[in-house]
């Protein structure tokens, strides 16, 4: 049951007003409300003496369930320590084998169509994700072309970020230095304003990105 106190009385109960702030006709109601609140606040809370026992018995029953114990045995996290001892010659042997495998992959004759898949194989191991961003309001299509995709202006389209005019894409670039440019609407080559640029030898500028180990970008 709730007592429909006047709004000002409720504010007294909330501590926002004092009894003195109430108009005379509400003071009695305010005093009653405060008395009631005081009685509730000070009333001791007593629990049944059997409550503890009942709760603990329920917890024990739950904990001793065989199904529950089995699940705990399977799912409980455990600390496992792994120690790996590698002799230096094994490390160098592995590195040389990996280098030989890369050389074999790249050394075999390839057709033009096969080249990107070889590069992708290397990229999967030694590559870094690089985000490209261009502000090109009004553009209908933006792509990025460079040495990493054989200057193919259809290989890496950027995606517009809403209607803000910002276009972005993220590419995995192999470790090494790459030159690139954005292609706006399939015909306008634009250097990345956020990256260093060099002359391309054709009277325009190429942007430069160098991807190094440790996910560093020059």
Partner 1 sequence: MKALGLSLAIVLAAGLPCAVAAQDVAARLDARVPADLAHAVQEIARDAAGRGLPVEPLIQKAIEGGAKGVPAPRVIAAVRQLAARLDEAQSAVRSAGTTAPSADAIESGAYALNTGMTASQVSELVRASRPPYDPAVTLRVVATLTALGVPAPQGLAMVEHMISERRAPSELLDLPSEVQAATARGATPTEAVQQLDPQQQGGGATHGPGQHGHSPQPPSPHPHKP
> Least distance from C-beta 59 to partner 1, angstroms?
51
Other CB atoms within 10 A of residue 153 CB: 18
d(CA 16, CA 23): 15
Task: Confirm or reject binding of residue 129 to partner 1 (CB under 8 A).
Answer: no
Task: Confirm or reject binding of residue 151 to partner 1 (CB under 8 A).
Answer: yes
d(CA 130, CA 178): 12
d(CA 3, CA 9): 11
d(CA 173, CA 155): 13
Choose which of 37, 63, 90, 217 interacts with partner 1 (CB under 8 A).
217
d(CA 153, CA 168): 15
Using alpha carbons, select from 176, 112, 103 the residue that is nearest to residue 146.
176
What is the distance, to the nearest Å, from the Cα of residue 185 to the centroid of all Cα atoms in its chain? Answer: 32
Indicate the DSSP class of residue 89. Answer: H
16 vs 152, beta carbon nearer partner 1 = 152
Choose which of 128, 136, 145, 158 interacts with partner 1 (CB under 8 A).
145
> Least distance from C-beta 87 to partner 1, angstroms?
15
> Least distance from C-beta 165 to partner 1, angstroms?
20
Segment near partner 1 (CB under 8 A), from 9-17, 66-74, 157-165, 197-205?
197-205
Task: Confirm or reject binding of residue 97 to partner 1 (CB under 8 A).
Answer: no
Instruction: Report yes or no: 180 and 209 within 8 Å, Cβ to Cβ.
Output: yes
Task: Confirm or reject binding of residue 177 to partner 1 (CB under 8 A).
Answer: yes
Task: Confirm or reject binding of residue 88 to partner 1 (CB under 8 A).
Answer: no
9 vs 171, beta carbon nearer partner 1 = 171
d(CA 86, CA 92): 10
- What residues does 198 pair with on adjacent strands? 206
Choose which of 36, 106, 120, 159 interacts with partner 1 (CB under 8 A).
106
Binding site for partner 1 (CB under 8 A): 95, 98-99, 102-103, 106-107, 109-112, 115, 122, 126, 145, 147, 150-153, 175-177, 179, 189, 194, 196-202, 204, 206, 208, 210, 212-214, 216-218
């Amino acid at each position: 049951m709730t007592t429909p106190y006047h709004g000002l009385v409720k504010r007294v109960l909330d501590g926002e007003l004092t009894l003195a702030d109430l108009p005379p006709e509400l003071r009695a109601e305010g005093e009653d409300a405060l008395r009631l609140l005081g009685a509730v606040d000070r009333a001791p809370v007593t629990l049944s003496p059997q409550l503890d026992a009942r709760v603990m018995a329920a917890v024990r029953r739950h904990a001793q369930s065989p199904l529950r114990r089995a699940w705990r045995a399977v799912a409980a996290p455990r600390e496992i320590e792994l120690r790996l001892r590698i002799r230096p010659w094994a490390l160098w042997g592995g590195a040389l084998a990996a280098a030989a495998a890369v050389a074999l992959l790249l050394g075999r004759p390839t057709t033009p169509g096969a080249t990107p898949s070889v590069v992708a194989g290397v990229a999967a191991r030694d590559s870094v994700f690089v985000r490209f961003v261009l502000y090109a309001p009004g553009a209908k299509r933006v792509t990025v072309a460079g040495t990493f995709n054989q200057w193919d202006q259809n290989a890496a389209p950027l995606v517009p970020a809403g209607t803000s005019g910002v276009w972005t894409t993220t590419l995995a670039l192999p470790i090494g230095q790459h030159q690139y440019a954005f292609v706006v609407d399939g015909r306008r080559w634009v250097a990345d304003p956020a990256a260093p640029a060099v002359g391309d030898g054709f009277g325009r500028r190429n942007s430069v990105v160098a991807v190094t180990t440790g996910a560093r970008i020059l």
